[in-house]
Structure 1
Amino acid sequence: MDERTRADVERAEAAIVEHYPRLVRLAHLVLPPAMGRHRRVLTAHGIVQRALPSTSRERARAVLPGQRRGPRPEPGYPQVRSRVLELALAQAKLGRRRSPLPFVWGLRLFPRAGGADELALDQALSALTAPARAAVGLRHLEELDEDEVVAVLGAAGVADPGEAQRAAAALGPGTAALLHSGEFDPCTVQARPTDLLRRRQGRRVAIVGAAALTAGAALLTAVGGPGGAPEPARPDPATVRARQALDPERLVRAPDDAWADTSRMDFTAWSPRGEYAGDTALLGRALRVWGAPGRDVRVTAAAGTSTRPPDQPPRVLYGGVIDGVTVAVLHDGDRLVRYAEPEGAPAELEFARADNADLTTAGALVIGRGTGWMRYLIAPWITDATTRDLLRPGAREKALHVAPDGVTDRVPQPPADGAACGQWPVTRLHSSARVTARHSFLLTDLGDLTPVHLTYGPATAAGPAAAPPAEATTPTALLSWARTACSLREERGAGVRSVNNWVYARQRLPESGAAATWTCSRADTWRGPGRVAVQFHPAAGAARVVGRARDTAACSPYGPEVVGETRWRAGSGHWYLLAAGSSAVRGLDVTGAVHRTTRATTFAVAVPANAPVRVAGVLASGGLLHALRR
């Protein structure tokens, strides 16, 4: 091998070692899901390990640079990436046919399961061709632009890279975040045993042959053979920690009044409750199923929540019987886990994120469900609870009975998707005066283990920032939520932590002069990203959503600028373009069929119903912020 080739190979080896997880994730994405999760993981690792060139003929072709943002990869990375794509695309054509794999005996490996969003993306990817999946990886994992994606695919031997690029572009804007989750990470995997009976039969044959070697080794040690007496085997620290984390005798238990003597008001301050909170048999079963759920165990997880076993002994929060179902609730610092043993049915595990919970978001959890109803287990610092219909702000609240173990009576569930939205039950919890004086807050159920905290942001007359969210318990807040509550159905099962209704602008309508309000509803998830919906509320008639955005800081303290626009028909039959910006916007700029710029934050002009018009807000920096659209 000449020096130039040796340098190329050494550079490629450094690139593989440096970016190994990144390359394996890309190869795993290209491979067809029909291979099966175990073989797909091993094949992805095998492809990257075979990507190292060995002769000058195998030097990869030069392609465009990799990422557009962040540190630029070393010169060997683009060549290695191209080689990985070639091998992955070739293997995708072979499908299930044999390929060299890393050796794994007795285990099945597969990535951690994701939530509903990850499952939907996996189904969408399975419908694409291997070149299109490669384009998805280059676009969303490698962050290449369209021209770079086409060039890299062409260098990897794809016949029609343009078609693959167009198919990849059809996926939604949240694809990149989902592809970085554990569902698509073949380097962070779970392990389960293979067929134990078949392995036992094969092992018997191996034991007979190994017995003679073992006896010889023992005799060699007894007579002082090479190396002398072996040192005692030391247990693997990771194995010890994993075993301790699943030991019911090591479960953490907070004192009864821990919540009254701590500044950390979250699930770590919950003391164990329920008649079986000390039942080590029940807790042991819960931990064993958590550590290794069988095939018949029903496992559900809120979006973005890992189902991995605990890394340390978790905290026990509850153990008891709820409507004939034996239930245990555990907390490992980042997640809540509800273990249930329904009578005559397999066990169930439900996971939800609970990191960075606080006084309100740790105020309750859903302890049981049925057809049209659910029960809460409330925090020990809650003194009483009431319920109300969010769609009827003037109606009186009803007392909600709470048992001594913290379990409430049944609460009606909000309507599901597709059902008529005739009511929206919410629960109001009141905190103890030992925590904070005269504090109460609203929670609602959106299908996850943790309920959603509802807040309200009043309109501000001027200033660069929005008013901080307040509890949605005042008459004004309840009136605002009565007009937007039914839109909460769109957030069901999305791992939502809280939803804030921010009234960011008020406007007088043309002709009548009646008042209208503009609201931005922001749903913040436990995993971080938020989703917003801008709603227009005329003085008479139903509110309607006029703009949406995902994975955005808009309508939060980090994104106080927001602009919305809609078409509105007056009583005279004339159509108007209405627009409104928040107080952080310095004016509005209208282009298209109408050209107008104003320093006001609201705007109304008569336009034909279908006239093409674009609205943007003028920022303090002089830049433009386009109105959110549906």
Structure 2
Amino acid sequence: MPIQPAPPSPTAGSGQEAETVLVEHYGRLVRIAYLVLPPRTGGHGRVLAAHRVVQRSLPRAGAGDDGYTGIRARVLDAALRADRRRLPRAALPLVLGLRLSPSVGGADGLSAAQALAGLPAPARAALALSVVDRLPDQEITAALAGAGVPDPAAALRAAAGVRQTLDGAAESVLRTAEFDPGRVLLHPTDLLRRRTRRRIATASAATLLAVTAVLVTGAYGGGTEQRGASGPPGVAAAAAALDPAGLRSAPAERWADTARVDFSVWPARGERRADRALLGRALRAWGGAGSAVRVTPSAGTGSEPPAAPPSLLFAGDVDGAAVVLLHDGLRVARYAEPLNGGGSAVLDLARTDRADVTTAAAVVVSRTPDGTRYLLAPWIAEAGTRDLLRPADPTRRLATPGGLTPRLANPAAGGCAAWPVLSLRSSARIVEQHSFLLTDLGELTPVHLTHTPAPGAGAPARQPREATGPSGLAAWARTACTLGGLRGQGVRAVNDWAYARQPLPERAGTATWVCTRADTWAGAGHVTVWFQPPGTGPGSPGTAAAGARDTAACSRFGQHVVAGTKWRAPDGTWWVVAAGSRATARLSVAGGGADGPTAAVRVSRATPVKVTAFHADGSPFTPPGAPTD
């Protein structure tokens, strides 16, 4: 049922009028209930519970407000109570022989579902009222208070945080069919027990539920669906997702005429893309069949089977292995089996939600001791490789027939004599002269490297830019060797932000303060702040002055940073030097201080480093990872 542009005005009346209100706005009420109900109940149980809550919200004659506001209040109260105790399973509606699940969507919907799952029920209720009924904050807090929420303001703040996390897309995403329990997929419940191989495409066809229908029977199972020992989760949609006949593929030129440039628009490539037997083995490995397949998910990536038929990106023979690349909207999967029959097959999984023109530009197809080979996105017009430790050297062009690169040297796991990176340029059909760098950190998708230059005098705040220019290459020449510490952490992108320049005492030159931020696919950010005195070159990142994990520091959500460290001047004297970002009005350093964003205080060698920065309004902030009072 389509969502109306604004909530209806409350009306009062008889029980018959209340039923009219409920039926008229059934779709809106069921969507609100579905968003508030706990995700742990699973798709089937949550769909039925949403309809159950709304159908039971019809008031008895004379039992209170019969208008929309009163019915919605009863829906909220019941859905919030369901978070604390289980709803009665015998109540109508019930379904026999079928399982229900909302429509399957893309990466934005998956991200929204994950964000909702991390919210407490009152915050989900605040988000539902904001998105579905478009209530102002004051009315949301009043509705939550009426439903017995002890701290409506906190719930509203948590909901606002999720809307910010979704980059303002909450309204559009939460109004899609993925969050509409009135439009569901119907699946049989017993396919796994039958172990049949017949096609079940009709079982996963989308069906619009009549909003006033009562579906009578007994519910099958309950709670969260479990993964079987030899197969995919206990829903037929997952079984259909593992049928090679159902694999999807984007048209060859879709990438050149879309506003969403990511893995969803990769066409299927490779000489074995029609090999049903190979594709079936790859899908069964993803579904959990066969203990001989070694499954390796990257950090923060789930290994569960796809919920819907994935897209085929590639199937072909590469470096002695048959390789299949698949994408399910949230992850890329790489299946590889030896061609000579020796050894076991492997399945690598990497999270790729919110990928874009740069982070969806390449996938590892083969990694051997001799190097790594990539499959490049169809929008890559030019590819090359360069060494970060030699910024003055030109990029070496690469031939990429069929999108496959030659084997490229791996960044050293031990020493750091070189740090090879991919240098790519996008087609002018989607963006003009967009060049960028990617580096291999040992996972399925390479990592995007960017650079934020030092602030200029009187210039506005700088934004991250591609690290292909002279300043970006010079910066990464110094910090390249620190990238090795990020291997295996599910990193999506790394930015080097030169947030301050500081003239040093004793006319010792100018130091640069750099915050290196690694953003993971899971959303966490790890930062290290470097003090870089003059006179050092490539491979010398400087002194680590501060650091933190799982922080917003040095991102657009954490734009204020400060750090300090001890530095020995050429004449042998010791100083505590410190620098803050552009909004720093004053620094307190080791018992001294200074106005402005930089400070240097002469100290003894044993003096501890303690730095506090202050904004113009007097509010303080401390280095990343420092304890707060």
Alpha-carbon distance in structure 2 between the residues aligned to 1:459 and 1:19: 46
Alpha-carbon distance in structure 2 between the residues aligned to 1:358 and 1:19: 31
What residue number does 1:605 align with? 601
CA deviation vs aligned residue, 1:423-474 (integer Å, no higher than 9, x gap): 0000101111101111110000001101000000012247898421100000
Question: 1:393 deviation in Å?
Answer: 0.5
CA contact (8 A) 1:454 1:499 kept: yes
Q: 1:463 to 1:446 in 2, by over 3 A?
A: farther
Q: 1:523 to 1:234 in 2, by over 3 A?
A: closer
What residue number does 1:388 align with? 386
CA contact (8 A) 2:589 2:601 kept: no
What residue number does 2:454 align with? 459
Q: Which has the larger helix fraction?
A: 1
Please identify runs of 4+ aligned residues in structure 1 that moved more than 4 A.
Answer: 18-22, 233-238, 462-466
How do 1:161-172 and structure 2 match up within 5 A?
none
Alpha-carbon distance in structure 1 between the residues aligned to 2:38 and 2:388: 51
- Does the residue aligned with 2:506 lie in a helix, a strand or coil? coil
How do 1:468-507 and structure 2 match up within 5 A?
468-507=463-502
What residue number does 2:407 align with? 410
- 2:333 pairs, out of 330, 337, 362, with 337
- Does the residue aligned with 2:349 lie in a helix, a strand or coil? strand
Alpha-carbon distance in structure 2 between the residues aligned to 1:326 and 1:268: 23
CA deviation vs aligned residue, 1:198-220 (integer Å, no higher than 9, x gap): x9xxxxxxxxxxxxxxxxxxxxx
Amino acid at match of 1:605: V
Alpha-carbon distance in structure 2 between the residues aligned to 1:608 and 1:530: 35
What residue number does 1:122 align with? none
What residue number does 2:444 align with? 449
CA deviation vs aligned residue, 1:112-145 (integer Å, no higher than 9, x gap): xxxxxxxxxxxxxxxxxxxxxxxxxxxxx9xxxx
CA contact (8 A) 2:373 2:404 kept: yes
Alpha-carbon distance in structure 2 between the residues aligned to 1:609 and 1:463: 36
CA contact (8 A) 2:566 2:609 kept: no
Q: Which of 598-607 and 328-337 deviates more?
A: 598-607
- % of aligned pairs identical? 50
Alpha-carbon distance in structure 1 between the residues aligned to 2:39 and 2:328: 30
Alpha-carbon distance in structure 1 between the residues aligned to 2:562 and 2:260: 37
Amino acid at match of 2:526: R
Is 1:358 aligned to 2:325, yes or no?
no
Question: 1:238 deviation in Å?
Answer: 6.6
Alpha-carbon distance in structure 2 between the residues aligned to 1:243 and 1:379: 29
- Does the residue aligned with 2:239 lie in a helix, a strand or coil? helix
Q: 1:298 to 1:465 in 2, by over 3 A?
A: farther
Is 1:277 aligned to 2:273, yes or no?
yes
Amino acid at match of 1:554: A
- Does the residue aligned with 1:578 lie in a helix, a strand or coil? strand
- 2:314 pairs, out of 318, 336, 342, with 318
Question: 1:544 deviation in Å?
Answer: 2.4
Question: 1:597 deviation in Å?
Answer: 3.2
Give the TM-score, by structure 1 length.
0.61
Alpha-carbon distance in structure 1 between the residues aligned to 2:556 and 2:418: 31
CA contact (8 A) 1:464 1:560 kept: no
Alpha-carbon distance in structure 2 between the residues aligned to 1:552 and 1:466: 21
Alpha-carbon distance in structure 2 between the residues aligned to 1:312 and 1:378: 25
Amino acid at match of 1:504: Y
Q: 1:603 to 1:286 in 2, by over 3 A?
A: same
Matched pairs, number: 409
What residue number does 1:147 align with? none
Question: 1:275 deviation in Å?
Answer: 0.4
Alpha-carbon distance in structure 2 between the residues aligned to 1:464 and 1:613: 31
Alpha-carbon distance in structure 2 between the residues aligned to 1:244 and 1:474: 48
CA deviation vs aligned residue, 1:580-612 (integer Å, no higher than 9, x gap): 000022221124xxx223221011121111113
What residue number does 2:522 align with? 527
CA contact (8 A) 1:466 1:557 kept: no
CA contact (8 A) 2:314 2:324 kept: yes
What residue number does 2:99 align with? none
Question: 1:627 deviation in Å?
Answer: 2.4
Amino acid at match of 2:355: A
Q: 1:292 to 1:421 in 2, by over 3 A?
A: same
Amino acid at match of 1:328: V
CA contact (8 A) 2:421 2:439 kept: yes
CA contact (8 A) 2:263 2:355 kept: yes
Q: 1:530 to 1:234 in 2, by over 3 A?
A: closer
Give the TM-score, by structure 2 length.
0.61
- Does the residue aligned with 1:411 lie in a helix, a strand or coil? coil
Amino acid at match of 1:366: V
Alpha-carbon distance in structure 1 between the residues aligned to 2:220 and 2:509: 79
- Does the residue aligned with 2:283 lie in a helix, a strand or coil? helix
Amino acid at match of 2:236: V
Question: 1:234 deviation in Å?
Answer: 11
Alpha-carbon distance in structure 1 between the residues aligned to 2:484 and 2:461: 25
Is 1:347 aligned to 2:345, yes or no?
yes
CA contact (8 A) 1:464 1:584 kept: no
Structure 1 gaps, min length 5:
1-17, 23-72, 78-140, 142-198, 200-230
Alpha-carbon distance in structure 2 between the residues aligned to 1:533 and 1:465: 24
Alpha-carbon distance in structure 2 between the residues aligned to 1:446 and 1:19: 37
Is 1:624 aligned to 2:599, yes or no?
no
Alpha-carbon distance in structure 1 between the residues aligned to 2:498 and 2:397: 30
CA deviation vs aligned residue, 1:9-67 (integer Å, no higher than 9, x gap): xxxxxxxxx99979xxxxxxxxxxxxxxxxxxxxxxxxxxxxxxxxxxxxxxxxxxxxx
CA deviation vs aligned residue, 1:121-175 (integer Å, no higher than 9, x gap): xxxxxxxxxxxxxxxxxxxx9xxxxxxxxxxxxxxxxxxxxxxxxxxxxxxxxxx
Structure of higher CA gyration radius:
1
What residue number does 1:108 align with? none
CA contact (8 A) 2:584 2:613 kept: yes
- Does the residue aligned with 1:605 lie in a helix, a strand or coil? strand
Structure 2 gaps, min length 5:
1-36, 42-79, 85-119, 121-192, 194-216, 226-232
CA contact (8 A) 1:504 1:581 kept: yes
- Does the residue aligned with 2:240 lie in a helix, a strand or coil? helix
Amino acid at match of 1:412: A
Q: 1:598 to 1:449 in 2, by over 3 A?
A: same
